[in-house]
Structure 1
Amino acid sequence: MGMIQWIILIGIVAFVIRKFMPVKGVSQATVLEAKKKFNDKNVQFIDVRTPQEYQANHRKPFKNIPLSQLTQQTNKLNKNKEVVVICQSGMRSMKAAKILKKHGFESVTNVKGGMSSWV
């Protein structure tokens, strides 16, 4: 294998690792752990699925802010409160968690497995 192929391979591996590694400062919670926070007034619950997905199946107190609109709507959230983020499988909510961290949110929690894990 030539030098260029090695560089491309290393770049691909680094990209995949970065894509799936937990984000620094983002907590992971099970569905059960997320449910235990429902009565906490210092926690905001955001569902980043599409409006259609949200309407078909959602849980209170999660509010729908689709991932595609999150960057423009971070001003609707309180940076001083924890944000618990969910999607269908946990992938989009992890992207949302990264966006929130970049916008200065200190406490962000991703629900592992998303709505697919809801019991």
Structure 2
Amino acid sequence: MEIILIIVVAAIIYGLIRFLLQRKYLKTLTEEEFIQGYRKAQLIDVREPNEFERGHILGARNIPLSQIKNRLVEIRQDKPVYLYCQSGTRSQRAAGILKKHGCQDINHLKGGFKKWTGKVKTKK
């Protein structure tokens, strides 16, 4: 029983430290803040291609989280990066990868695409 408690406490501490460190390099933006800056940035949808085809933010490039490590050359380190996924979880994970790659200005959409009310493009 004590081992389980230690594992749970360790997991909570690890999660808290990770969250606090992430806040230093990843800005979580409301839809209004996201709209103000994404046209001057690299807008990247980190969802899978089938999700992207069903609808995505106008002007977004699809670089799925599952492929991002192999496609880092497509992402400029000197330009702001605006990420989104369906709910915000995958874009946070992608941000960690981009930070290690050398990106400095990393932003993501609070609530993800499911909360987006702006312009959407779908594949025909």
**Band the TM-score falls in, shorter-chain normalisation:** 0.7 to 0.9
Structure-1 residue corresponding to 2:86:
88
Counterpart secondary structure, 2:102: coil
Structure-1 residue corresponding to 2:56:
58
How many residues align? The count is 116
Q: How does 1:1-119 map to 2 (within 5 A)?
A: 2=2, 4-18=3-17, 20-21=19-20, 23=22, 24-40=24-40, 43-119=41-117
Q: What's the offset of the Cα at 1:22?
A: 6.3
Counterpart secondary structure, 1:88: coil
Larger helix fraction of residues: 2
Q: Is the 8 A contact 1:46 1:86 kept in 2?
A: yes
Give aligned-pair identity as a percent.
36
Superposed CA RMSD in Å reads: 1.8
17-26 vs 88-97, greater mean Cα deviation? 17-26
1:87 is matched by which residue type in structure 2?
A: C
Aligned mates of 2:29, 2:69 — CA distance in 1: 23
Length-normalised TM-score, structure 1:
0.87
Q: Is the 8 A contact 1:38 1:61 kept in 2?
A: no
Q: What's the offset of the Cα at 1:104?
A: 0.7
Structure-1 residue corresponding to 2:121:
none
Aligned mates of 1:77, 1:35 — CA distance in 2: 20
Counterpart secondary structure, 2:28: strand
Q: Is the 8 A contact 1:84 1:108 kept in 2?
A: yes
Q: What's the offset of the Cα at 1:21?
A: 4.8
